[in-house]
Amino acid sequence: MAYSEALPMREDTPEPPPLITVDVENDVRAKLSATWREKSGLWGWLTSTNHKSIAKRYIITALIFFALGGLEAGMIRMQLSRPENRFVGPDLYNQIFTMHGSTMMFLFAVPVMEAVGLYLVPLMVGTRNVAFPRLNALGYWMYLGGGVLLYAAFFMNTGPDAGWFAYVPLSGPQFTPGKRVDVWAQMITFTEIAALIGAVEIITTVFKQRAPGMSLNRIPLFVWAEVITSFMIIFALPAIVISSTMLATDRLIDTHFFNPAEGGDALLWQHLFWFFGHPEVYIIFIPALGMVSSVVETFTQRRIFGYPAMVLSMVSTAFLGFGLWVHHMFATPLPQLGQSFFTAASSAISIPSGVQIFCWIATIWSGRPRFTASFMFVLGFFFLFIIGGLTGVMVASVPYDLQVHDTFFVVAHFHYVLLGGAVFPLWAGFYLWYPKLTGRMLSERLGKWNFWLFFIGMNVTFFPMHILGLMGMPRRVYTYLPEMGWGGLNALASLGAVFIVASGVVFVVNVFRSLSVGAPAGDNPWNAPTLEWATSSPPPSYNHLFIPVVEGRDPLWDAAPGELSVVTGLRTDRHEGLVTSIMDAIPERRYEFKKETILPLLLAVFGGGSIVIAIFSPWGVTIGAIFTFIILACWFWPTISPDSDTPLARRRLP
């Protein structure tokens, strides 16, 4: 019998609604565990549509790419540690810095921020899976395909070498013959599809699947961050979709988008790329802002001050982020008045960031800070990101930028904002949420070593670069003359890299060691307020035993101690969740999540294979289209579940 028959709706009775008995809980738990159990073995792994399994894969893959990108950085620093060094020659160096940038931006930063969201958002909004589980799986396989493509090519000496933003005409058919840049352009195709898929998942899940009572003004700040980021992805990625397609067709079938001889324009590439490229860095940064909020509230045991201001700040950052792209092009012949507009906009974007920083400081002031490793990483974020933000406002100035653009000053700036503003919060997030993902606590002692090595290394590596840039050292140079006087600071920067590598090693040791010897975490070791902490660590495959009902912005702090209000009535014999209204999260429908299937992997293999063929021949597109159609037909072909409770459609009688 359906569970609900034992418990009719009782909203308007004067006594409080009944507690669910232990027997009933155990019964539901057993049924849900059976229904939601992930298949084991290789087949189970390949067909999984569980958002947590997929997100964990994403995170681990992204961290592997982070390590690879770090190795590339290490090679760059080795080569630059001395003038006229011969560690690597110009061709390999140019590939290495291109790989470093492309790996970090396309294969690490955006995927990991989305992946943390794909893991946590369904838990935080109180649902059982993302809206489109099979699409989510496809996203991961496409991402993996893109990364494998890029590195396979690199190891075959066909790695891209025109910089991570591949300016034309250098990256065009005439000046970089061969397949290097085509590989890069198609890697973009894979990763852009994955990013767009992640964005669609997060927006749909947050709009339609929030726990009852989680109205818009009760959505956790991290979830807001992920939603805002996802909207940015939706509107920014198309720019690189079409520009990379234009580059690919220029190279493969002789179109003339960027060929000045036939009316094309080298600046068109820059406009289109940076229209994507600038929002891209906010796509990386805004989720980190959400993580900072989660960490600050947990380790000060205070709700974040100024919730509406925090949300509006993130929204304004997102909007403003679309209006800054020309600041990457100040050295090109664009009209001065137009450039001044971008100076103003680029400076203005510091205002919402400033509001957030002041709100966090206020929150800290009113609370009781606990200096855990996670919180230390957030403090590191403050120290480092603000430096990056300030140098950012400096380079927003056109005359200043004309001196420091394309020098190591700008390299210092963006590493401060990317490492300080995104990677440090990400590490804070790892230290906060590792217990939830694994059920074990990380070592706080190793965590603090991790933090200090990273913090010191970062400053020793990147601060001198500000000076180097002002001393005239341009970017992307494989060597420099001894008489330039840059040797000392370069050697220092390379020394810093050693600290950073050491911190990475400490992190890996901490992660692996804690899996076996870490203290058991329990549901909520930090007494944090958001819903992911209302379920076990690690969460069961169905996330929450019963969908929670939320009464405030900090559900676990606002609820009566030790108690949680929940929803009953969802079926336990199929993958069922609850769909609620957008504004106030009033329950509307029950929703069936799709179960495991091999189709996403098949589509990634055949579709991805066609994309790889497209590197060599335009027929790849046609082949891909045919395979995609066939597989999508199978994907969307409706199935009737045997015990479905929706009526069959009426047939007109003859």
Sign of the Cα pseudo-torsion (230, 231, 233, 237, in order): positive
Query: Buried b / exposed e across 333-370, counting CB within 10 Å, b at 16+?
Result: ebeeeebeebbebbbebbebbebbbebbeebbeebebe
x/- map, 590-629, other proteins, by CB under 8 A: xxx--------------------------------x---x
Q: Stretches 31-39, 60-68, 477-485, 595-603: which one binds other proteins (CB under 8 A)?
A: 477-485
What is the nearest approach in angstroms of other proteins to the Cβ of residue 516? 27
Instruction: Identify residues 533-572 at the interface with other proteins (CB under 8 A).
Output: 534, 545-546, 549, 554, 557, 562-570
Angstrom distance (rounded) from CA 163 to CA 189 = 17
Paired strand residues for 407: 474
Amino acid code (one letter) for 242: I
| Residue placing its CB nearer to other proteins in the complex, 511 or 531 | 531
Report the nearest approach of other proteins to the CB of residue 369 (Å).
5
CB of 107 to other proteins, least distance (A): 21
- For 201-210, letters b (16+ CB in 10 Å) and e give bbbebbbbbb
Q: Please give the residues from 153 up to 192 whose contact with other proteins meets the rule CB under 8 A.
A: 162-163, 167, 169-170, 174-175
* HEC per residue, 334-382: CCHHHHHHHHHHHHHCHHHHHHHHHHHHHHHHHCCCCCCHHHHHHHHHH
Distance of alpha carbon 547 from alpha carbon 554, whole angstroms: 16
Structure tokens of 284? Answer: 């990386």
- Using the rule CB under 8 A, is 425 a contact of other proteins? no
CB 465 within 8 A of CB 493: yes
* Dihedral class, residue 166 (left if φ above 0, else alpha if ψ from -120 to 50, else beta): left
Pick between residue 241 and residue 446 the one whose CB is nearest to other proteins.
241
235 binds other proteins (CB under 8 A): yes
Stretch that binds other proteins, among 61-69, 238-246, 445-453, 501-509 (CB under 8 A): 238-246
Question: Is residue 260 near other proteins by the rule CB under 8 A?
Answer: yes
| CA 537/CA 520 separation, integer angstroms | 9
Options 467, 502, 509, 623; binder of other proteins; rule CB under 8 A: 467
Q: In 3D, which of 610, 594, 608, 603 has the Cα closest to residue 629?
A: 603
Q: x/- site string to other proteins, residues 390 to 409, per CB under 8 A?
A: xx-xx-xxxxxxxxxxxx--
**Dist CA 654 CA 652 (whole Å):** 6
Does 7 engage in binding with other proteins (CB under 8 A)? yes
Q: Are 579 and 585 in contact (CB under 8 A)?
A: no
Query: Between residues 157 and 174, which has the closer beta carbon with respect to other proteins?
Result: 174
The minimum distance between CB 118 and other proteins, in angstroms, equals 15
Q: What torsion, rounded to 10 degrees, do the Cα atoms 22, 28, 32, 34 define?
A: 90
Q: Note the maximum CA span of the chain.
A: 95
564 in Cβ contact with 544 (< 8 Å):
no
| Residue 487 interacts with other proteins (CB under 8 A): yes or no | yes
Q: How far is the CB of 403 from other proteins (least distance, A)?
A: 4
Q: Does 245 bind other proteins (CB under 8 A)?
A: yes
- 16 binding other proteins? (CB under 8 A): yes
Structure tokens at 350: 């510091």
By beta-carbon proximity to other proteins, the closer residue of 405 and 507 is: 405
Closest CA to 299 of 229, 380, 252, 367: 367
Contacts (CB under 8 A) with other proteins, residues 64-93 = 81-82, 84, 89-91
User: Which of 44, 238, 538, 609 touches other proteins (CB under 8 A)?
Assistant: 238
Is the Cβ–Cβ distance between 346 and 404 less than 8 Å?
no
The least distance separating other proteins from the CB of residue 274, rounded to whole angstroms, comes to: 12
CB nearer to other proteins: give 45 or 215: 215
Cβ closest to other proteins, residue 39 vs residue 90 = 90
Residues 250, 96: Cα–Cα separation, whole Å: 24
Binding residues for other proteins, rule CB under 8 A, total 190
| Least distance from other proteins to the Cβ atom of residue 45, Å | 25
Residue 264 within binding range of other proteins, rule CB under 8 A: yes
Is residue 33 part of the contact set for other proteins (CB under 8 A)? no
Asked if 647 touches other proteins (CB under 8 A), the answer is yes
Would you say 482 and 455 are in contact if contact means Cβ atoms under 8 Å apart?
no
What would the two tokens of residue 448 be? 């603090």
Asked if 414 interacts with other proteins (CB under 8 A), we say no
Q: Which is nearer to other proteins, 406 or 444 (CB)?
A: 406
Q: Is 175 left (phi over 0), alpha (psi -120 to 50) or beta?
A: alpha
Segment near other proteins (CB under 8 A), from 48-56, 57-65, 148-156, 261-269?
261-269
Residues between 321 and 340 that touch other proteins (CB under 8 A): 331-333, 336, 339-340
Closest approach of other proteins to the CB of residue 141, in Å:
18
The correct pick among 36, 58, 480, 507 for binding other proteins (CB under 8 A) is: 480
Single-letter residue type at 261: A
Of 215, 347, 438, 597, the one binding other proteins (CB under 8 A) is 347
Among positions 508-527, residues that touch other proteins (CB under 8 A) are 523
The yes or no reply on residue 635 touching other proteins (CB under 8 A) is no
Closest approach, Cβ 554 to other proteins, in A, equals 6
Using rule CB under 8 A, residue 94 touches other proteins: yes
**Least distance to other proteins from the beta carbon of 486, Å?**
9
In whole angstroms, how close is the CB of 512 to other proteins at the nearest point?
30
Residues of span 282-301 touching other proteins by CB under 8 A:
300-301
Minimum separation from the CB atom of position 74 to other proteins (A) = 15
CA 340 vs. chain centroid, Å, equals 32
**How far is 101 from 614, CA to CA, in rounded Å?**
23
CA-based R_g, the chain, Å: 26
Residue 590 — φ and ψ, nearest 5°? -90, 150
The CB-of-137 to other proteins minimum distance in angstroms stands at 15
Nearer of residues 44 and 163 to other proteins, judged by Cβ: 163
CB within 8 A of 557, min separation 6: which ones?
303, 529
The encoded tokens of residue 113 equal 């921020």
